[in-house]
Structure 1
Amino acid sequence: MTCIAIGAMMAEPAAAQQKDNYPELEGPGPVIIISKDKNGKQELIDVFNETQRPHFHDPRAPRFLLTDRQGKFALGIGGYLKTTMEYDFDGTVDDIDFIPALIPQPGSTQVRNQFQMDAGTSTIFLKLVGRTKHLGNFIVYTAGNFRGSGKTFELQNAYLSFLGFTMGYDTGLFMDLAACPPTIDFQGPDGMTFYRATQLRYEANLMKGLKVGVGVEMPSVDGTPAKDVRINKQRMPDIPAYVQYSWTKGSHVRVGGILRSMTYEDEVSNKAKSITGWGIQASATAGLGNFRAYGQFTYGKGIAQYLNDMSNLNVDIVPVADEAGRMQVLPMRGWFAGLQYNFSKRVFASTSYSQSRLFTKDCYAHFNETQYKKGQYLVANVFWNVTHNFQVGVEYLHGWREDFNDLSREANRINLSAQYNF
């Protein structure tokens, strides 16, 4: 029978991207459950580190690993427990996330303060990795949190990756995870592209520092139906692509785009019609000494569901004024800029400003004066790595919402968080 040994490996190096972006204390390596044949165990740990997801809210490399007898495959089990306390003052947001689009209409509520707590973003994941002869680094990843209805477990990632191909459910290709600034707020900045989709994508390193990607994604159209219009079945996938150039670890510039065909049923003429949506994006992150900068700019038509804040408005496609059975796409824009300063491996701080903007077309604003026109989001925070696995943070948020009638309202929030990684 195979004897099983339980031991601790050497100190695990943090993933390059994660370590460069968010400083952390060195900690003990993963606990390994292995057979007597330990060949390849360090190589497997390297695969976990190389494929570490760079987004601030994604969990770190796993703390516990199980390997097969030959040491060719390893299963990682990990995640984090996160609890957040939130206090809104001088204006509230009708959500556990800070979403300026959901600041209530003037007069709709007399409550100007609000206290909330949340543990729903706590995450659990399983990750299988291996170095194979024909498929290279082989990865199966599933993760979820408790943001489902009634705080039930909700799938966030479920994909298989090998030879540059990724298939399954994951964050979309029309976004740049590594360029997202750190926030306690789970949504993150206004105008930042963030979404998940079932997809098939291919990414490749063409030469040193140059990377490209292209994919097909399950379409989802969030629209405001006109009279005699139905929005349900879609006939074409969304097609995202990008080109990225990196000059050092953790520093890159990226240009991407997405093309989509959105179908609706015109019940006046009994026809299925399609409208083309598209978006372009430029993003970057770079480190200089103890500083790190983040930035992103996105512009397009019919891409609201990809942009924070506007994804809550159902404006991928909207009615044409006074024309039954006809829909249109509106221009929209989102951008953010942020700066982070690393005081030490224990403490870092960041601040960022972001904005999302919906433009009018064909008298849309005239017939929708109380519709969202612009959202703004300002955040400043400090994080302290108390130990290798335990992090606390404090954050201030200020948000503005402005409608097409030029009326605006504001809200403020203080966030406190505690997170333990396992």
Structure 2
Amino acid sequence: MKTSFKMVAMLLGMGIFPLCANAQKKVIIEDEEPNSIMFISRDKAGDEIIRIMNDRSQLRFHDPNAPRFLLTDQKGKFALGIGGYVRATAEYDFGGIVDDVDFYPALIPQRGSGNFAKNQFQMDITTSTLFLKLVGRTKHLGDFVVYTAGNFRGDGKTFELQNAYAQFLGFTIGYSYGSFMDLVALPPTIDFAGPNGSAFYRTTQLSYMCDKLKNWKFGVAMEMPSVDGTTNSDISINTQRMPDFATSAQYNWNSSSHIKLSAIIRSMIYSSNVYDKAYSKTGFGLQASTTFNVTKKLQAYGQLNYGKGIGSYLNDLSNLNVDIVPDPDNEGKMQVLPMLGWYAGLQYNFCPSFFVSGTYSLSRLYSENGYPSGNPESYRKGQYLVANAFWNVSNNMQVGVEYLRGWRTDFSSSTRHANRLNLLMQYSF
């Protein structure tokens, strides 16, 4: 009986020990189904997927980085990233205010406007961003990107679409930053608007970028027109008949240094009640921009914009409806005014996680045909000065501090100014 019990125990032991040993091994389920997906961390994805996901050549400083986690197909050819950041700022204005959560010198209140405040405290979380980014490497379409993003800058702090586009074979189709911009040459700021003389806008577009030549990029674009003008009882802005057309050429001499030249042309349609017919005015813009290494730790930024009827594209002037304005010398007619915007800045990187920067910017609206004869308090010039410091506490958390000073000068030569101190905390996911 004892012998039988020992034999049974031995047989059970022989069966149990291999079972326990197998339980310690990692179980891999083979799945050949091409539509199956895997949830992985970013550093586990393939090199091609990571390269496309991390590409920031068409993103600005305020846009979110690649997400921490990805959904990828079984073969690792496509990946979907879901990410964004929570961004909180505290703002204190002193010695004059800007009547907006963003710092536009054009919005420093006019004398007699009823706003006599010299100090102002605000907090803002509305620039917190969510995005979806699908990337892949395909045989016929090359690098393929579908990107949507939004923040809470809609009416009543509702979610508002900021980007929605697809990219393949050099084409961009959808809603994104305009082609008359240089995103990489924009300096870092806590202020979400950035330098007042910079070109900044979003639009629905069909654009193409050729980067097949060494060190060179060439672009063309057809963009949805949007005309912001000043009207009266004799004139009104019509539905536009043709798109805006933009083109650019860029030369890169290393991964962080380039110079870019851009141009845009637009036709703006308006109706005259005096002559009972529609007219068109042509606007145009020219841009030169650059960013380059001065030393290993010092980076320079700069941009110059000049044109007529391009107020919608320039930060400060986009608040003033001056794409097209009444012509004081010709009743029932409108005109396009010359305008200028530029900035220059430097960034010094003490180490990979800490840097400081400073930028000066100017925006200018010129007079023609007596404009603005009826309102000498109209905007003529704005100036913008910013100095800041950023610390990347970790891969996902960034804090910063910033000082801003703005000046607004009117055609009457009166000048008023404002100061702002910004604090930032941002967590990316």
Once residues 211 and 56 of structure 2 are traced to their aligned partners in structure 1, the CA distance between those partners, rounded to angstroms, is 14
1:46 aligned residue: 51
After TM superposition, the score normalised by the length of structure 2 is 0.89
Q: Secondary structure at the match of 1:44?
A: helix
Question: C-alpha deviations, 1:119-165, integer Å up to 9, x for none?
Answer: 00011000011111111111100000000011000100000110000
Aligned length: 394
Once residues 326 and 93 of structure 1 are traced to their aligned partners in structure 2, the CA distance between those partners, rounded to angstroms, is 33
1:157 aligns with 2:149: no
Contact 1:52 1:60 in 2 (8 A): no
Alpha-carbon RMSD across the aligned residues, in angstroms, is 1.5
Q: Secondary structure at the match of 2:52?
A: helix
Once residues 6 and 352 of structure 1 are traced to their aligned partners in structure 2, the CA distance between those partners, rounded to angstroms, is 42
2:335 aligned residue: 328
Of residues 386, 390, 398, the one that matches 1:383 is 390
Contact 1:226 1:326 in 2 (8 A): no
Of residues 69, 74, 77, the one that matches 1:69 is 74
1:366 aligns with 2:339: no
By how many angstroms is 1:232 displaced?
3.2
1:411 aligned residue: 418
By how many angstroms is 1:223 displaced?
0.2
| Structure 1, gaps ≥5 residues long | 10-28, 33-40
Once residues 423 and 288 of structure 2 are traced to their aligned partners in structure 1, the CA distance between those partners, rounded to angstroms, is 32
By how many angstroms is 1:42 displaced?
2.9
Of residues 60, 65, 83, the one that matches 2:65 is 60
Once residues 46 and 254 of structure 1 are traced to their aligned partners in structure 2, the CA distance between those partners, rounded to angstroms, is 24
Once residues 125 and 106 of structure 2 are traced to their aligned partners in structure 1, the CA distance between those partners, rounded to angstroms, is 23
By how many angstroms is 1:111 displaced?
1.4
Task: Work out the percentage of aligned pairs sharing the same amino acid.
Answer: 60
Of residues 137, 145, 150, the one that matches 2:151 is 145
1:245 aligned residue: 251
1:21 aligned residue: none
- Residue type at the aligned position of 1:390: M
Distance 1:281 1:6, change over 3 A: closer
Where does 1:99-138 land on structure 2 (aligned, <5 Å)?
Answer: 99-107=104-112, 108-138=114-144
2:315 aligned residue: 308
1:189 aligns with 2:195: yes
| Structure 2, gaps ≥5 residues long | 1-28
1:20 aligned residue: none
Once residues 155 and 306 of structure 1 are traced to their aligned partners in structure 2, the CA distance between those partners, rounded to angstroms, is 19
Q: Say which one has the larger Rg.
A: 2
1:80 aligns with 2:85: yes
Contact 2:38 2:72 in 1 (8 A): no
- Residue type at the aligned position of 2:84: G
Q: Which runs of 4+ in 1 moved over 6 A?
A: none
Once residues 284 and 226 of structure 2 are traced to their aligned partners in structure 1, the CA distance between those partners, rounded to angstroms, is 14
1:357 aligns with 2:388: no
Where does 1:279-318 land on structure 2 (aligned, <5 Å)?
Answer: 279-287=285-293, 288-318=295-325
Question: C-alpha deviations, 1:49-90, integer Å up to 9, x for none?
Answer: 235644100110121210122322110111111000000001
Where does 1:6-25 land on structure 2 (aligned, <5 Å)?
Answer: 6-8=39-41
- Residue type at the aligned position of 2:134: L
By how many angstroms is 1:345 displaced?
1.1
Question: C-alpha deviations, 1:349-392, integer Å up to 9, x for none?
Answer: 00000000000000003333111000000000000111111000
By how many angstroms is 1:322 displaced?
5.3
